[in-house]
Amino acid sequence: MATDLGVARDAAPEHTVAPDPAALQRILDGKYAEVRDLVRRNLVEHADLLGEVDDLDREAYRDRVLEIVQQVASTGQTGFGFPEEHGGGGDIGASIAAFETLAFGDLSVLVKVGVQFGLFGGAVLQLGTQRHHAAYLPGIIDGTILGSFAMTESGHGSNVQALATTATYDVGTDEFVVETPHDAARKDYIGNAARHGELAVVFAQLHIGGESQGVHAFIVPIRVRDEAGELVPAPGVRIEDCGHKMGLQGVDNGRLWFDGVRIPRENLLDRFATVSPAGVYSSEIESPGRRFFTTIGTLVQGRVSVGGAGINAAKVAMVLAVRYAERRRQFEATGEQEELLLDYGQHQRRLLPLLASTYALHVAQEDLAAELHAVFSGEKTDERSRRALESHAAGLKAVGTWHATRTIQECREACGGAGYLSASRFAALKADTDVFTTFEGDNHVLLQLVAKGLLTDYAGDFQDADQFEMVKLVAGIALDEIVKRTRAHQLLDRVRDLLPSGAEDEDEAGLLDTDYQLAMLRYREEQVISSAARRLKRGVDSGMNPGAVFSQVQPHVIAAARAHMDRVVQEAFVARVAGLADGPEKRALGLLVDLNALRMIEADRAWFMESGRMSAARSKAVRREVDALCRRIRPIARPLVDAFGVPEEVLGAPDLLGPVVVAGEPAAAGDEPGHHTQGETAEHVAEQVAEPA
C-alpha cells in the first residue's frame, strides 16, 4: 500500500481541484510569515535598484547598496538574530527567514547584509564576550559600525587551520601585533573591505612566547578618519580592491595586508581562549583541534544562510520560467493554434522536476533553520546536536547552491532570447549566485565534512582528525564490523518487501509508494557509505599511504555524502506534507513529493541497475512515471510558483511576463481564453489535482 500523503494517485485529472496559492504560501512561509512579509515590503520599497544597476558605475552602485542596507537595518529586518539587550530581536530562526527572503531582490544587497550582520556581526556575537557585545553590537545592528570578516587568504581558502597571518602578543605593551608574513597570506575576497569597512574580524595564528596556539579571531581597525573626516586605511594596513567580478558588483570585495598593526589585548575575541597581561594563554578546551572546530562551528549560521539564499534565488528563476511558458506559444503541434511552451512534454521535463526539488529543498532548509535556532538558543546543548547541525548545514548548503546554479541556467534557457535580456533578471541571478557554490566553503569540501560525519558512526569520535587520520581510523575496523554497522543488508530486505508481486503492470506497480521511494534512497545511501569505508580500509591494509588512499576514494566519499543529502531532503519533504490537513494543497504537494523522489531514482538508474535493485523494465517504468507526474503537475504549475510570494515589483522581466491579464478583460495576444495564462484566477484553473477516490 502507498503511504498516505492525501494524494489520490490513481484518480483522473479531469476530477481535480486547483490549490490556492495563498494557502500554499502560508505553508511555505511557516511560523515566520510576518518576518518574510516585512522583507517583501522592504524589497518593494527598494525595487527601483534593480532597474538602476546597469546605469550606475561601480562605486555608485556600491554606495547605493550600502544606503539600502542601512535603511533596511532601521526596520529591524537585519537585527533579528542579535540579543534584545543590544537592540536585536533575539530570534535566530527569524534572522534566517529574513535573509532567505531577501534573496528575491538585488543579491548585492543580500550579500552586503550577510557580510555586515551575518559574518562580521555574527563573529563578534559568537566569538566575543560581553564586553565586545556591549562595545560593538549596537552599532553593528544599526549599521553605523561597518565591518568585514577577514578569514580567507590567497594561499589558504577552505584550509582555515593553515592560515598564515600572525598575531603575536607583545607582553611589554599589552598588545597583539598583526602581520602578513608573505603575499599568499593576504586576506582576499573580503566583503566590505574595499570601500566601506572600518573594522575587521581577522583570523590569525596566535603566537605567544614563540609558541603557536592556533587560529584565533581579533578585531582589527582597517580604516580611520583623517583630519578632514575622510576614511583612510589605518596605519600599517594596506587595502586593495579585488576589481571587477563576475557578479555582485555592489559588494566592495577587497584584499588586506597587515604590516605590524598593533591592537589592544582586549581585541582578542576570547569566548574560548584568553591571554593574560603576563602572556599566559588559557582555555577551557584543552585540545587545540577541538578548540579550533568549536570556534569554526559557531559560525555555521553563514552556511545555513547561503544555502537558503540560493534556494530562494532559484524560486525567482522558477517564477519567471513557468510564467513565461504559460504565455509563450511556439509551433502548431496539435492544431491551427501554436502550443504553449509548458504544454510540451520536454518543457515540462525541464522545469517541473526542478520545481519539485525547489519545494523539497525549501522544506529541508526550514528544518535546518529550526535546528540552528534550537542549538544556538540553548534549547539543545548536547555536543551531538551541534555536530549534526554542522554536518547538516554543510550538506544542505552544497546541494542548495548547486540546485540554484542548475535551476537558474535551465530556466534561462527555457526563456530563450527573452531570458537573455538584463531586464529579465537572469543575467544578475546567474552572475550573482555563481559564487554561492564556493563561498562559505567549496561545496566539494563541505561534502567531505558531511562524509566525515557519516563515517564517524563507524570509527567513533574523530572530530579533531584530519582526512588522512580519518582514513587510518576507518582502516582499524574489521570489514565484518563495517557491514554490521550499516543498514544496507536490512534495507535490502525492506526494498524487497515493498516490491509488488503478481500485480498487473508489475513494472509500474509500487513506484508511487512513498515507503518504497524512501527505502530505495536509504538503501543507496547505506550501500555507498559502506562501500567508501571498505575502500578506505582496503587501501591502507594494502600498504598505501593514507593520503593517496583518500585521494583515490575521494569521489566515493563525496558520492556517499550526496546520497545522504538526497535522503535527508526527501524525508523532510515527506514528513512535512504528511502532517498537512487534507485538501488540494496537500494533494498538490504530494505530487511534488512523488516527482522529487522518482527524479532522483531516475537520475541514478545506472547505479540501481548495477546494484541489482532495478530491472531494465522497471527503469523504463520510472521514466514513464516521471513523465506522467509532469503532465499532472503542469496545470497547477502557476499556483505552485505563485505560492513562493516573490513580489511582482522585483520580478521585472516585461518581455517574459508581458501585460497582466485581468479576468473579464480581453486577453493579450498569445493568452487566448481556454489556456492557462498568468491572468487566470483559481476558478479558471479547473480540475488540477486528483481528489481522493
Q: Which positions are annotated as active-site residues?
A: 440
Q: Which residues contact 671 (CB under 8 A, 6 or more apart)?
A: 327, 658, 661, 677, 678, 679
Question: What letter does residue 114 receive in the DSSP assignment?
Answer: I
φ/ψ bin of 434: left (φ > 0), alpha (ψ from -120 to 50), beta (otherwise): alpha
- Choose among 146, 148, 204: nearest CA to 176: 204
Residue 280 amino acid letter: V
Strand-pair category, 199-208 with 147-150: parallel
Q: Which residues contact 358 (CB under 8 A, 6 or more apart)?
A: 311, 314, 315, 318, 403, 407
Torsion angle of the four alpha carbons 369, 374, 378, 382, in this order, in degrees rounded to the nearest 10: -110
Residue 115's SS3 state is: helix
Q: Which residues contact 221 (CB under 8 A, 6 or more apart)?
A: 198, 199, 234, 237, 263
How far from 32 is each of 57, 93, 435, 572, CA to CA, in Å? Answer: 36, 8, 27, 18
Residue with cell 479547473: 686
Residue with cell 522545469: 351
Q: Quick one: cell of 448?
A: 567531505
Cα 384 to Cα 203: distance, rounded to the nearest angstrom? 26
Q: Quick one: cell of 591?
A: 505530487
Question: What letter does residue 265 receive in the DSSP assignment?
Answer: G
Strand-pair category, 166-170 with 199-208: parallel
- Choose among 499, 490, 335, 325: nearest CA to 419: 325
Cα 351 to Cα 410: distance, rounded to the nearest angstrom? 8
